[in-house]
Structure 1
Amino acid sequence: HVNHFWRLLSELQIPFLTLLDLDVGRYQAGWGRIKYVNNQLGLYQPEKVLPTTFSLSDWNDDKVPVRTHHFFENGTKSVFLELETRGVFFSFPMDLDFSMLLAFPNAYGVQQEVSDESTIKAVLGKSHHGSYQYSGDELNLFSTYHKLFKLGSKPAAHIDALAQLSNEELLANMPGSFGRLADAVIAKLAELPE
C-alpha cells in the first residue's frame, strides 16, 4: 500500500509521515520491510534513500537478525532512527497491536502463556522465520495477541484497553516510535502555512 499512498501524496505535494508494521518473523518482513521502504523512497523521495553503506539484509538471514543487527557506521546509526528522520516509523517488533500489548499489558488483560509452535504459527503465519528474535516474555504474549487481535475485534480490544488508561499513563508508557511519530507530526504541522 505504501507505493499507492506515497505516489498519490507525492504527486499532490502533500507532506506525509508513515507508520508501518515491522512484523519481525513474518514472511518477507523485518529486513524485507526495510528494503521495500528504501526502494519506495528511491521512487518517490530519492533524496531520502538510505546511504549505500547501510547493507540491508534479506528478511530471513539468520546471521543478521533485524532486532539486534540494525546499527551501521560502527554502531553509531540505527536504521530505524535513520528512517524516522526520513518520515518512516515502525511499530516494533511486530505491529501496532503487539506494541500496545507490550506497553500496556494490564490494560489488555495479558495472560502470560508459553507459546507452542501452533500459537507462533497462528501469530506469525505459516511461512514465518526467526521467531527466536522474540524474547521469552514476548513469546508468552502471543496467546493473548492471537485471542485479542486475530480471533477478536481489534477496535474493541483497543477501545477497552484505552478506556482503562489515563492520559498520563498513555504518555508515560507509549511505545517509543509512537511518541517520536507524534512529535514528528507536531513538527510537520508547525511547518505548514496557516
Structure 2
Amino acid sequence: MKKFLLSSVAALGLVAAGAASAADLPSRKGPVVAPVYAPVFTWTGFYVGANAGYGFGNVNAGTVFGNRTVNIGDLDGFVGGGQVGYNYQMGQFVVGVEADIQGADLNSGSSFFGDRVRTEYFGTVRGRVGVAFDRFMPYVTGGWAYGNVKTTIGGVGSTDKTHTGGYAVGGGLEYAFTNNWTAKVEYLYVDLGEKTVFNSGVKVGTDFSVVRAGLNYKF
C-alpha cells in the first residue's frame, strides 16, 4: 500500500511538472489582431463639379407693334457648365444647396421673317432634398433661375436681355463611386420668364427642359 501511494505521488508530480513546462512554452496562436471596420460613407460636405447635356423647349412671344405675330419655333441645343454645393446628412435624409452656371446653345433657328430667339447662358440656385441608400441618393430640387434671352425680330432689330425672375425644378440620381467622387444624372425644367422687347409691348421668354450628366468632387 505504501509503495502504491508513493507511486501515485510521483506520477502526480510528473504531470504537474509537465503542465508547468507546457505553460512556459511560447503560444502558437500569435498576437490578437483588433478587427478593422471600413469607414461609413457620408454625403455631408462641400463639393464642386462639372456637367454637360441637352436642352429643348419653347419660346413665348406675342405681336410686334400690333401688325404681326412673332413667328418663332421651339429651341434646343447643347448645355454645359459647372456647379458648387453643400450637403448635410441627417440619418437617411440629405439636405443641401447647389448653384450652377451653364453655357448654352439653345437656338430657335430663324423664321421666314428672320425672327429668332437664343439663350447663351443660364444659371440656377436651388435647394436639394434626397434620401441616401448608402452610396445611392435619389433627390428632388428646386429654386431660382436666371439667364439671357437674345431676341431678333426681322425688320425691327435685336435685343439681349437678362431675365432674373425665373425658376427651376427637377430631380436626379447621384452615386458615390469613391468617398470623394460622385456621378449624377439630372432633369431640370427651367422657366426664365418673359420681358418686353423694343418697347413694343410684345413679351418674349423661354422655358425649356434640361437633361444632363455631372461629376462632383466632395471635400
Query: Could you say which TM-score interval applies, normalised by the shorter chain?
Result: under 0.3
Name which structure has the greater RCO, CA cutoff 8 Å, separation 6+. 1
Over alpha carbons, which structure has the higher Rg?
Answer: 2
Greater fraction strand: 2
